Amino acid sequence: MITPPVGGARRFDGLRNVVRLLLFALAAALSAAVVGVVCAYLGLLVSGIVSSLSTALWLSVGVCAAAYGLAELCGARWWVPSREWLIPRRWGRWGSPVFDILFGLFLGAGFFTINRFIGYHVLLLVCMLSRDPVKAAVLMGTFGATRAIPILALPLIGFLKHRQYDFTAAYEMHKHFTHLDRSLQSLRATVLLVIFGISLTAVLTV
């Protein structure tokens, strides 16, 4: 369920809600960036192992990214390790910036809530293999920000369409999420195939 990040407010209250939406998006990006940095430092911690297995690890990343990328292009849905937990709907009734921040933090981290995009796991491996905290932060921060886009976009479109910004609008717009998800399959496939290209380059230059 796409929950409005502003706690079910019935009207879009100008700058106040814009700030809260920004808090949500920034929290998602920051949370993901922290996860990326942790993976990079983990790679540094086991640098000897990563170096000795670098070719095999990059090859594994490439094969996985290519296989799942082609599956996305074909419209297939393969198994992806993921939790099934979702943000409780009642949290959205708090009407508090605390909810917006918590929602962003849980969503951006990627492993607290349901996340059936294999690219997330592949990106974590890329961060570990890079052993570069700055690059990892930028990479995962971008992932977190983009993951927040559907959560922001659908309710906002609902507000523009129905002149309200509440759970009713969110439920209505959620009906269109399936169509949006299908259109995003090509984008997910592109991301995975780009990762495949990066891993192939890494294998050839090791």
In eight-state DSSP terms, residue 5 is T
**pTM score:** 0.78
Write out the H or E segment, with its range, that includes residue 123.
Answer: helix 118-130
pLDDT of residue 2: 43
pLDDT of residue 163: 64
pLDDT of residue 22: 83
Length of the chain: 206
pLDDT of residue 154: 67
Is 169:158 a contact under the CB 8 Å cutoff?
A: yes
